[in-house]
């Protein structure tokens, strides 16, 4: 038997924040076994890379990361473990080609981590993909700043969008039991902002309880005294009902912000994507949200250059942005993914054309965002301090309309500020992405 308490472990997490939660649970498994976790790659004897495989670019990043850090085997590194989405979907290709890796685990196999590692130390490369049942407990080692965290409430997806590999990687939609999630949230300690994630949080509970249970879960979650506020990411437009809107509006702990991945606006493209809804319905939802919750911030993502997208449809998406006037958006060039229905569609566009259309969408949205942000100049905003930006020599934070990493920031000067605390910041100027200001008690 290997005494793993004498080994030092490192972990690199790639991809989305749903992956991050998996990584945090694996770190907890490692630490609970009495092992040491280090952030210094030069010290790590076992390095785990939690991979992403959603797009070709993410698969490329995962492979390049594995190859880069395999070079540390000439130093202190003994074992390289690849886990997560890349082995789960592409184990046949990766196991034979990535001989630099010693252990392969899929998205449900973290509970078998030490069994696989023990076998590897016996002298063989180990494929443990699909060996587990997904259970790995509620305990986590947070990799975010201490004042905010992510809570993954479900895995997999049932939406079957024609461009997306997630159902082939993560399987069917599977809600986590409500009591387990509440225990997990409580064990996180005092959290200024808890961010709910899943491929589609609005579908939560249908598979377990026979009906949507997101509103019920939000009511129970916000009763926890350690959770100060809750942010909602990835709410599919066709699943946002009146009850959820009322909960966002009336529950003081729910941040008035919603991320709705529309993905496109033009009806023909939406049908080709197998997305529910239409341009008119999406605009109607935006209007309804703003009527019910006037201060609501709406974020979305869009795919440009989907197979067969005409210039008129690309322009239609630009027009949708101008009409909807969303607070923030992310734009992505369509990625042609094998084993998806869209891979076989006619009318695949050149990469250069897709990127050109993405740049135009960003330009349109930047103008909209700049105008929205300029409306805060001269006003006070409640800002959550995320820390210090030493390059700008000021504090850095976020207003309610900004989620970590994906949206803009508020840079502000103050006599003092503590990470995780809120401050009233008077906004002095804005650009197309960020705001800049000071607290009232700041003196130059």
SS (H, E, C) 77-105: CCEEEEEEHHHHHHHHHHHHHCCCCCEEE
Q: Where in the chain is the domain with CATH 3.80.30.20?
A: 148-374
Per-residue pLDDT of the chain (444 residues; tens, 9 = 90+): 889 999 999 999 999 999 999 999 999 999 999 999 999 999 999 999 999 999 999 999 999 999 999 999 988 999 999 999 999 999 999 999 999 999 999 999 999 999 999 999 999 999 999 998 877 776 899 999 999 999 999 999 999 999 999 999 999 999 999 999 999 999 999 999 999 999 999 999 999 999 999 999 999 999 999 999 999 999 999 999 999 999 999 999 999 999 999 999 999 999 999 999 999 999 999 999 999 999 999 999 999 999 999 999 999 999 999 999 999 999 999 999 999 999 999 999 999 999 999 999 999 999 999 999 999 999 999 999 999 999 999 999 999 999 999 999 999 999 999 999 999 999 999 999 999 999 999 877
Q: Please state the pTM of the whole predicted model.
A: 0.95
Q: Where in the chain is the domain with CATH 2.40.50.140?
A: 380-439
For residues 95 and 118, the answer to whether their CB atoms sit within 8 Å is no
For the domain spanning 380-439, the CATH number is 2.40.50.140
CA distance 444 to 435: 19
Which parts of 200-241 are beta strand (E)? 230-232
Q: Does domain 148-374 have CATH number 2.30.30.20?
A: no
R_g (Cα) of the chain, nearest Å: 23
Summarize pLDDT for 129-140 with one digit per residue, the tens.
Answer: 999 887 777 689
CATH fold group of domain 4-127: Rossmann fold (3.40.50)
SS3 423: strand
Q: Where in the chain is the domain with CATH 3.40.50.12160?
A: 4-127
Q: What are phi and psi of 86, to 5 degrees?
A: -65, -55
The residue behind tokens 């990493």 is 405
């Amino acid at each position: 038997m290997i005494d793993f308490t004498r080994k030092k472990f490192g972990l690199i997490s790639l991809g989305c924040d749903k992956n991050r939660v998996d990584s945090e649970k694996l770190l907890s498994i490692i630490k609970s076994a009495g092992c040491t976790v280090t952030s210094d790659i030069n010290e790590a004897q076992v390095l785990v890379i939690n991979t992403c495989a959603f797009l070709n670019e993410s698969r490329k990043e995962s492979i390049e990361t594995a190859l880069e850090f395999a070079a540390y085997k000439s130093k202190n590194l003994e074992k390289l473990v690849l886990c997560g989405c890349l082995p789960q979907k592409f184990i046949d290709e990766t196991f034979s080609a990535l001989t630099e890796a010693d252990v392969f685990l899929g998205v449900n196999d973290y509970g078998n981590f030490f069994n696989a590692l023990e076998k590897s130390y016996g002298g063989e490369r180990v494929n443990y993909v699909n060996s587990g049942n997904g259970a790995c407990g509620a305990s986590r080692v947070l990799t975010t700043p201490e004042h905010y965290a992510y809570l993954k409430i479900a895995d997999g997806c049932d939406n079957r969008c024609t461009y997306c590999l997630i159902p082939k990687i993560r399987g069917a939609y599977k809600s986590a039991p409500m009591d387990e999630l509440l225990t997990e949230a409580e064990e996180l300690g005092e959290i200024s902002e808890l961010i709910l994630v899943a491929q589609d949080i609005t579908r939560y509970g249908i598979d377990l309880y026979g009906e949507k249970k997101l509103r019920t879960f939000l009511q129970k979650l916000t009763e926890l005294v350690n959770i100060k506020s809750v942010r909602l990411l990835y709410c599919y437009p066709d699943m946002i009902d009146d009850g959820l809107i009322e909960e966002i509006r009336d529950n003081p702990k729910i941040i008035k912000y919603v991320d709705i991945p529309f993905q496109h606006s033009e009806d023909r493209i939406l049908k080709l994507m197998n997305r529910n809804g239409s341009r008119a319905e999406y605009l109607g939802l935006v209007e309804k949200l703003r009527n019910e919750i006037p201060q609501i911030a709406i974020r979305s993502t869009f795919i440009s250059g989907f197979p067969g997208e005409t210039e008129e449809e690309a322009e239609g998406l630009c027009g949708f942005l101008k009409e909807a006037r969303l607070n923030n958006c992310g734009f992505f060039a369509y990625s042609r993914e094998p084993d998806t229905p869209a891979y076989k569609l006619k009318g695949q566009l050149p990469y250069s054309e897709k990127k050109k259309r993405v740049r135009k969408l960003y330009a349109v949205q930047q103008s909209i965002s700049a105008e929205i942000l300029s409306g805060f100049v001269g006003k006070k905003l409640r800002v959550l301090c995320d820390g210090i930006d030493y390059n700008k020599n000021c504090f850095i934070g976020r207003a309610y309309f900004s989620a970590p990493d994906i949206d803009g920031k508020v840079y502000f000067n103050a006599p003092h500020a503590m990470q995780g605390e809120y401050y009233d910041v008077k906004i002095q100027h804005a650009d197309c992405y960020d705001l800049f200001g000071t607290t009232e008690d700041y003196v130059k």
